Amino acid sequence: MMIPASVTLLPTYTIYCKLGFVDTYLPLVIPSLFGGDAFYIFLLRQFFSAIPNELTEAAIVDGCSWGGVFWRIVLLNAEPALIVVVINQFVYSWNNYFVPMIYLQNPQKYTIPLGISFFKDMYGSLIDVL
């Protein structure tokens, strides 16, 4: 959480370039699938630790397997936190300007913030202030 994105930009760009992901949407999607931001990991960890152990123990006593406990008890109780993570990550990805600017080279693939900036630069007017 304390390392700025500009520090990790060159290594991640090199990795994505070697994998052939540059000028595709994969560098925009893959980080979101693997946790997105460290804040979301801390948020979900705190939410999971707040779920009472009595719920999982009661499910085990009733004959539920560990996988069943996770799917039927833990994930259903963590639904509000998961919804918060999904909404926040969607809004962040939708408004992101920096990452698409680095990884996308074809103007046909630009995201909306990048396309609006490109359109503004192309058709905007310069007003000289005296």
For residue 58, give its domain range.
39-95
User: 12-39 in b/e burial notation, b at 16+ Cβ within 10 A?
Assistant: beeebeeeebeeeeebbeeebeeebeee
pLDDT digits (tens, 9 = 90+) for 72-108: 999 999 999 999 999 998 898 889 898 899 999 998 9
Does 45 lie in the same domain as 8? no
Nearest to 105 by CA among 17, 33, 6, 45: 17
Give the CA dihedral 36, 44, 7, 23, nearest 10 degrees. Answer: 0
Predicted pLDDT at 6: 81
Q: Give the pLDDT confidence score for residue 104 in this predicted structure.
A: 92
Q: What pLDDT shows up at residue 80?
A: 95
Amino acid code (one letter) for 4: P
The structure's pTM equals 0.76
68 and 51 assigned to the same domain: yes
Q: What does the pLDDT look like over 18-59, one tens digit per residue? A: 999 999 999 988 887 876 778 888 999 999 999 999 999 999
Look at the chain and report how many structural domains it folds into: 2
Please tell me whether residues 44 and 65 are part of one structural domain: yes
The reply to whether 43 and 86 lie within a common domain is yes
Same domain, 48 and 70: yes
Are both 20 and 65 inside the same structural domain? Answer: no
Length of the chain, in residues: 130
Q: Which residue, among 39, 52, 46, has the nearest Cα to 2 in the 3D structure?
A: 39
Give pLDDT, residue 5.
77
- Indicate if 24 and 55 belong to the same structural domain: no
Q: Are residues 103 and 90 in the same domain?
A: no
What is the pLDDT, as a whole number, of residue 65? 94
Residues 106 and 120 placed together within one structural domain of the fold: yes
Residues 87 and 45 in one domain: yes
Residues 48 and 90 placed together within one structural domain of the fold:
yes
